[in-house]
Amino acid sequence: MIPELSRSSVIIREFSRVKETLRAMQAAGAGSLQVIADFDSTLTRFAHNGAQVPNTHNILEKKWLVNEDCSEKVMELSNTYHPIEITTSLSMEEKMPHMVEWWTKIHELLIQQKVRKDLLSHAVKESSVILRDGYKVFFDCLLERQVPLLIFSAGVGDVLEEVIRQNHVFHPNIHVISNYMDFDHTGVLRAFKGQLIHSYNKHEAAQSHAAGLKELQGRPNVLLLGDSLGDLKMADGIAEPQNTLTIGFLNEQVEERKEAYVNSFDVVLVQDETLDVPNAILRSLNRSLGESLSHTNR
């Protein structure tokens, strides 16, 4: 039994599928598993003490890193594009060009602002970014069992790395695929490296980057964590996936989006700011089938 799956914040469309997938993953063992997780609002909290937790973009957009005019433009862009990002009335394909526009405009603004590399660490320290409760167990458990953790983020990779470094969980089993900044020799931002990653093109990055990571090869079982429907595509780089269990954090616009999430993710966590459920699932993968699932009768 995984008691955490009975919490009122957990919605499971097809419990038998979850049970069967866990059974197969347990049988295959930790050596066949990889974990793929989105970062912002998935590994980090969405809200804390009634306030929204900043994501990796928000950390960079602080007034002491960029000027007033830039802050206002960032806010305007967010007000225009974030509703498009999360609406269920447009398909992913319809959202894509808007996301490219949003990310491109933001990257251009940040480049114009000449963001300095040496200020990033301070920006993270001063921010109120916070990883989800239970993060230490999550990161340490994966390290201990030598399970690779692929963090797949449409945020800013340099900031993401700094967040996990400052929380002392940037372990060697972690691989990050994200938008990385390109600094000139004086440490001033001059471009973003490589292909742009936004919320809805993670499948392209998965196929071009993740597919080539040798640490992930021979691990056909996937525990996937995300907070956006686009995150479901993060496992697209796996050549021959066998068992995939997807967990979706439904953080905002709950009523409007619940149906779409329940129809898309295996397990939906509604406004749950913890990693308790993924941690319980990881624990269960280590225990015998009888112990972990026998009391489950849903």
Ligand X SMILES: Nc1ccn([C@@H]2O[C@H](COP(=O)(O)O)[C@@H](O)[C@H]2O)c(=O)n1
In this chain, which stretch among 35-43, 163-171, 181-189, 288-296 interacts with ligand X, using CB under 6 A? 35-43
Minimum distance from CB of 30 to ligand X (Å)?
26
For the chain, give the number of residues. Answer: 298
Minimum distance from CB of 16 to ligand X (Å)?
30
- DSSP character for 116? B
Report if residue 273 touches ligand X, rule: CB under 6 A.
no
- DSSP characters over 245-286: EEEEEE-SSHHHHHHHHHHH-SEEEES--B-HHHHHHHHHHH
In this chain, which stretch among 102-110, 214-222, 239-247, 265-273 interacts with ligand X, using CB under 6 A? 102-110
Minimum distance from CB of 197 to ligand X (Å)?
7
Q: Are 190 and 112 in contact (CB under 8 A)?
A: no
Q: Contacting ligand X (CB under 6 A), which of 18, 30, 106, 267?
A: 106
* Contact flags string 217-256 toward ligand X, x per CB under 6 A: -----------x----------------------------
Using CA atoms, how far residue 97 sits from 84, 87, 216, in Å, is 11, 15, 31
Using CA atoms, how far residue 82 sits from 103, 174, 199, 208, 270, in Å, is 11, 28, 11, 26, 19
Largest CA distance in the chain: 61
Q: Contacting ligand X (CB under 6 A), which of 154, 225, 229, 232?
A: 154
Minimum distance from CB of 26 to ligand X (Å)?
29
Closest CA relative to residue 237, chosen from 278, 201, 198: 201
- Binders of ligand X among residues 80 to 99 (CB under 6 A) are 82, 85
Q: Contacting ligand X (CB under 6 A), which of 148, 155, 237, 248?
A: 155
Catalytic site positions: 38, 40
* Between 1 and 130, CB nearer to ligand X: 130
Gap between the Cα atoms of 162 and 182, Å rounded: 16
Using CA atoms, how far residue 143 sits from 2, 136, 174, in Å, is 22, 11, 8
Q: Contacting ligand X (CB under 6 A), which of 153, 251, 274, 292?
A: 153
* Between 19 and 57, CB nearer to ligand X: 57
Gap between the Cα atoms of 232 and 248, Å rounded: 9
* Between 101 and 133, CB nearer to ligand X: 101
Minimum distance from CB of 19 to ligand X (Å)?
29
Residue 269 has φ and ψ, to the nearest 5°, of -110, 115
Minimum distance from CB of 298 to ligand X (Å)?
30
Say how many CA atoms lie within 13 Å of 80 toward its Cβ. 13
Residue 6: other Cβ atoms inside 10 A: 11
* Between 77 and 188, CB nearer to ligand X: 77
- Binders of ligand X among residues 38 to 57 (CB under 6 A) are 38-41, 55, 57
Applying CB under 6 A, the residues found at the interface with ligand X are 38-41, 55, 57-58, 78, 82, 85, 102-103, 106, 153-155, 199, 228
